[in-house]
Each structure stands twice: as C-alpha cells, then as structure tokens.
Amino acid sequence: MRLGLALFLTLALGAGAALAQTPAGPAPAGPDAQPPAYDPIGDAIAAALPPDQTTDQEPDAMPADDAPPAPPPGYAAPPPPTTRYGPARPLIMAPPPRAAPGRPSLDRPVMIDETGKSPDGPPTVIDLTYESRIRGSAAASQGLQGPLDGGWTVRTDAGAPVLSLQLVDRGNGYGQLEGAWRSLDAPMSRVGLIDSLDRQPAVLTIRITKAPGKPTVVLSLTPASDGTWRGDLMDDRGVRPVVMKRN
C-alpha cells in the first residue's frame, strides 16, 4: 500500500513540474479567443533539432570527391592499343625550331687587307638558298639571250687593247643588237653608245663615233672556230687587224 502511494505521488509531482516549465502562450486577442493547445511532443522535437533545420527539410547534398574511385578487387587494366606494326607509341610533339643565331656586330670597319675577316657572319641556310635562286634566275635569263650578249674586248694582233664593248643580244642570233663602247687606247678613256650593229650571216659590222668631227670607227668581223671574232678596225689611224674576244 505504501509503495503504490509513493509511486502515485512521484508521477503527480513530475507532471506538475512539466506544466510549470511550459512557457505561457500569448494572451487571447478577445474574450471569445481560445488559448493555443499545448503540444509537448512537438516542443520536445523542436528543442532536439538545430535552429536552422526542420523535420520536412532534406539534408544538403554532400560535395563530390574529385579523386577517382578505387577499382574493385580483381580488376585488370586493358592492354595498350596495338597496330599492324606493333604496339602503338605515344605521340611526341617535336620542340619548336630554334631561331638562327644573329650575326655578330662589329665595332669597327673591316679593312681590305684583313683577308681572314668578314664584315658579316657566315651565311645562313636562308642566305644560301636566296643566292642560289638569284644565280639560277640569272643563268636562265642569260640562256635566252643571243650568242653576242655580254662583254667583249677588241685587241690588235700584238695584244694591245683598243675597245671594250658591252653588247645586248635579245634574240637567238637574229634579234636587234644594241651596245655601248669604251676606248682603251687613248690617254683619256671615253665612253658612248654604239651607232649601229649590222649582223649578217658571215659578217658583223660595228660603227662607233668617238667624238664629233672625228671619222667613224668601223669594225668588220667574222666568227672564228675558237669563239672569237676576227677582222679589221678602220679609224683615223688607218686599217688594223684586230680580234674581238669575250671577257
């Protein structure tokens, strides 16, 4: 009997303490307003949760891990790709070409007697290629000219130089000839244009006027087997045998 009475008193005191700790709700707005119903279960759940979470919210998604997942036990990596000639090799990118080293700069001019020194550095591959193309173009252009195109020197039979000629032959031995001359047997060298060039199948006639009032110099030449032209030179000194040879 005493044990049952003590248990009843303990339960009654616990319920009274819970009612005493419950906060009082807001006062009724009017005489007819009803006080809010007390929910001890909802209050206990709200006290147990954090302030920024409620029962109807889902937890935020966890950030994904950047590391790749570990392979499962017993996983074997596939073999490397192969071709008909054997295993495929990885592509290796070639390094960019290095720029050609610059030419050395000189702190003074190079004198003419310094044969072992060049004002510039050694020619590069680009320089050699450019020079080769220029020479090839010049050779191709020269190949289209006639046999008299180029520089010639007229000498006497004794070998004394008389005239230097620069001829232009544009047409395979049949086109019009042009040219210039320079005297080599006078105290003062004179230059000028050739008055006329008459090319016949066996004779080449060149007429030159060295000075106004002077007689015209006439060269009558025929081709020889050694590539020279031989004939006579007629001027104020008379008629002399001469030979015209390419420079």
**164 touches 184 (CB < 8 A):** yes
How confident is the model over 189-217, as pLDDT tens digits?
789 999 999 988 889 999 999 888 888 99
pTM: 0.45
**88 falls within a domain:** no
**165 touches 206 (CB < 8 A):** yes
**56 falls within a domain:** no
**173 falls within a domain:** yes
Amino acid letter at 110? Answer: V
Q: Where in the sequence is the domain holding 231, given as residue range(s)?
A: 150-246
**181 falls within a domain:** yes
d(CA 138, CA 70): 73
First to last CA, the chain: 154
**154 falls within a domain:** yes
Q: Comparing 91 with 193, which gets the higher pLDDT? A: 193
**28 touches 35 (CB < 8 A):** yes
Q: Tell me: pLDDT of 41 over 80.
A: no
d(CA 92, CA 101): 26
**195 falls within a domain:** yes
**177 falls within a domain:** yes
Residue 21: pLDDT band (50, 70, 90) is: low
Q: Tell me: pLDDT of 243 over 80.
A: yes
Quote the strand ranges of the chain, DSSP E: 82-83, 86-87, 150-156, 161-169, 177-183, 191-193, 196-199, 204-208, 217-223, 229-235, 238-246
Amino acid letter at 221? Answer: L
Q: What is the DSSP string of 122-136?
A: ---HHHHHHHHHHHH
DSSP SS3 for 87: strand
**110 touches 119 (CB < 8 A):** yes
How confident is the model over 159-179, as pLDDT tens digits?
999 999 999 887 665 567 899
Q: What are phi and psi of 7, to 5 degrees?
A: -65, -40
**244 touches 229 (CB < 8 A):** yes
Residue 19: pLDDT band (50, 70, 90) is: very low
**215 falls within a domain:** yes
Mean residue pLDDT of the chain comes to 75
| Total domains, the chain | 1
CATH number of domain containing 229: 2.40.128
pLDDT at residue 223, rounded to an integer: 93
d(CA 129, CA 117): 23
